[in-house]
Structure formats: structure tokens, C-alpha cells
Amino acid sequence: DRLKSTEDKQQRVRKDCTPRIARLLLESTSLKDLIQYGLPKQGREIGRGQYGVVYDCKNWANHQSCVLKSVVPPDDRHWNDLALEFHYL
């Protein structure tokens, strides 16, 4: 019974808490970068992916060359997946 309870708690953390924490991390990191570096300058379109469009971006956040990905996930589940992907990079 105790083992089952512990497994249930671990599952809840994995399914409920971790995606929310990852999303909070993504949003707070984005806000910090906006305050510290400003908005990146969007260049020419490079390509399109599952979540959005990828653009060239020059000289942002002390990087000489980088890309900018415009992302608009359709729902919370996709937002959480994206946040977890960002968190584990």
C-alpha cells in the first residue's frame, strides 16, 4: 500500500508538476532575456517546422549568429511538451 502511494505521487509529479515547472522556467527565462537583451531582430525566413517559422537573427544576446523560432503551440499539452523540451536542452 505504501509502495503504491509512493508510485502514485511520483507519477503525479511527472505528469502534473514537472510540465508546469518547466513552463514557468521557459516563461521566466524569456522575460529575463527580453529585459536583459531586448527583442531580437527578425531576419529572413529560413524554414518552417512543426510549431512555427524559423528566421535568421544576427547579433542578439552576445551571439554573433543565431536563429529565431516563432512558436505558437495550439494548446496546453503542446505548450507543456515545448517547455519540457526547452528545459532538458
Tell me the CA end-to-end span of the chain in Å, nearest whole number. 37
Calpha distance 26→82 (Å, rounded): 9
Calpha distance 45→85 (Å, rounded): 23
Which H helix or E strand runs over 89? none
58 is in an annotated binding site: no
Binding residues: 69
Binding residues for ATP: 69
